[in-house]
């Protein structure tokens, strides 16, 4: 019997069956159509909601290898109040979605590197907080501000014991090798020993205390370093954040 004739017979027989049998029939033959329709509807609704509720970012900090505690949202709100940011109009992003293992580059690490690269290129990021191992991946690539140019004399003096340094001489040698196509294997000096460097530049701050920050975020690494992105368009807010988290 042709397939279409068989199909018509099934449909005719279905008319004589009860509600339960009809539901089972349609669930069997049309479930994936229904799933597709529901999925498309969900995507459409999500896009509409995001468009309607979309707010400009007033600040974006990426906290690598970090988990937020239940009260973290209140912490963000307290920073917004401290910085004078209207959260009805602007959004503050404390992004804890990224995980990077510098020793074993799994899919999650690769995905996080890609996300950071895209957001950095777009100029969306203001601050990074990460382990020294992760931070080093970016610190020697002129990613972060020279803090001697950004901090006030009082701030510089207060935070100087916690600086993370890079050697500008090593960075310059890397750039020259890249431009000339020469092989060059950089030897990065200890970031806590500027006296061992030719041209020490403070580009990060070890967050040694910061009690309130650590009460709201769990850092998987024993040590974390903060840096302010050199292409950030919200440096004043980034400095406010640094001031906010180093009060205690």
* Three-class DSSP category at 171: helix
Same domain assignment for residues 89 and 153: yes
Predicted local confidence at residue 21, as pLDDT: 53
CA-wise closest residue to 146 among 168, 123, 120: 168
* Three-class DSSP category at 70: coil
Same domain assignment for residues 132 and 149: yes
Phi and psi of 68, rounded to 5°? Answer: -90, 140
Predicted local confidence at residue 177, as pLDDT: 81
Lowest-confidence segment of 34-38, 61-65, 147-151, 223-227 by average pLDDT = 34-38
Phi and psi of 219, rounded to 5°? Answer: -100, 120
- Is the overall model pTM greater than 0.85, yes or no? no
Summarised one tens digit per residue, pLDDT across range 116-169 is 999 999 999 999 999 999 999 899 988 999 999 999 999 999 999 999 999 999
Same domain assignment for residues 107 and 24: no
Same domain assignment for residues 37 and 60: no
pLDDT at 33 > cutoff 70: no
pLDDT at 18 > cutoff 90: no
Judge contact between 244 and 83, C-beta under 8 A.
Answer: yes
Give me the domain span that covers residue 70.
Answer: 56-245
In this structure, are strands 163-167 and 56-63 parallel, antiparallel, or unpaired?
unpaired
Same domain assignment for residues 110 and 190: yes
Q: How many domains does the chain have?
A: 2
9 confidence band (pLDDT: 50, 70, 90): low
Same domain assignment for residues 128 and 208: yes
Same domain assignment for residues 45 and 79: no
* Three-class DSSP category at 129: strand
Comparison of pLDDT for 157 and 1, the residue scoring more: 157
52 confidence band (pLDDT: 50, 70, 90): very low
Same domain assignment for residues 47 and 78: no
Q: What is the distance between the alpha carbons of residues 93 and 119, in angstroms, rounded to a whole number?
A: 13
Lowest-confidence segment of 75-84, 117-126, 173-182, 192-201 by average pLDDT = 173-182
Angle at 167 between CA 239 and CA 104, to 5 degrees: 85
Same domain assignment for residues 115 and 34: no
Average pLDDT, the chain: 83
End-to-end CA distance of the chain: 82
Same domain assignment for residues 64 and 23: no
pLDDT at 89 > cutoff 70: yes
pLDDT at 53 > cutoff 90: no
Predicted local confidence at residue 151, as pLDDT: 96
Same domain assignment for residues 113 and 83: yes
Lowest-confidence segment of 46-50, 57-61, 96-100, 111-115 by average pLDDT = 46-50
Q: What is the distance between the alpha carbons of residues 144 and 204, in angstroms, rounded to a whole number?
A: 8
End-of-domain residue from the set 34, 51, 68: 51
Same domain assignment for residues 183 and 94: yes
Mean local confidence (pLDDT), 17-34: 47
182 confidence band (pLDDT: 50, 70, 90): confident
Judge contact between 225 and 61, C-beta under 8 A.
Answer: no
């Amino acid at each position: 019997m042709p397939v279409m004739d068989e199909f018509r017979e099934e449909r005719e027989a279905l008319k004589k069956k009860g509600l339960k049998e009809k539901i089972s029939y349609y669930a069997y033959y049309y479930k994936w159509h229904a799933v597709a329709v529901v999925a498309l509807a969900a995507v459409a609704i999500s896009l509409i909601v995001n468009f309607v509720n979309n707010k400009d970012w007033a600040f974006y900090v990426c906290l690598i290898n970090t988990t937020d505690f239940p009260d973290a949202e209140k912490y963000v709100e307290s920073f917004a109040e401290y910085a004078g940011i209207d959260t009805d109009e602007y959004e503050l992003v404390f992004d804890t979605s990224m995980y990077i293992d510098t020793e074993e580059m799994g899919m999650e690490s690769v995905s996080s590197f890609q996300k950071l690269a895209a957001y950095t290129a777009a100029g969306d990021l203001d601050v990074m907080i990460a382990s020294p191992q992760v931070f080093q991946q970016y610190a020697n690539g002129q990613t972060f501000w020279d803090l001697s140019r950004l901090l006030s004399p009082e701030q510089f003096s207060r935070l100087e014991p916690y600086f993370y340094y890079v050697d500008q001489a090593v960075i310059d040698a890397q750039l020259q090798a890249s431009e000339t196509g020469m092989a060059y294997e950089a030897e990065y000096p200890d970031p806590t020993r500027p006296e061992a460097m030719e041209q020490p530049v403070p580009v990060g701050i070890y967050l040694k205390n910061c009690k309130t920050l650590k009460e709201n975020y769990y850092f998987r690494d024993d040590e974390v370093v903060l840096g302010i992105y050199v292409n950030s368009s919200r440096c004043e807010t980034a400095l406010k954040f640094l001031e906010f988290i180093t009060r205690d």
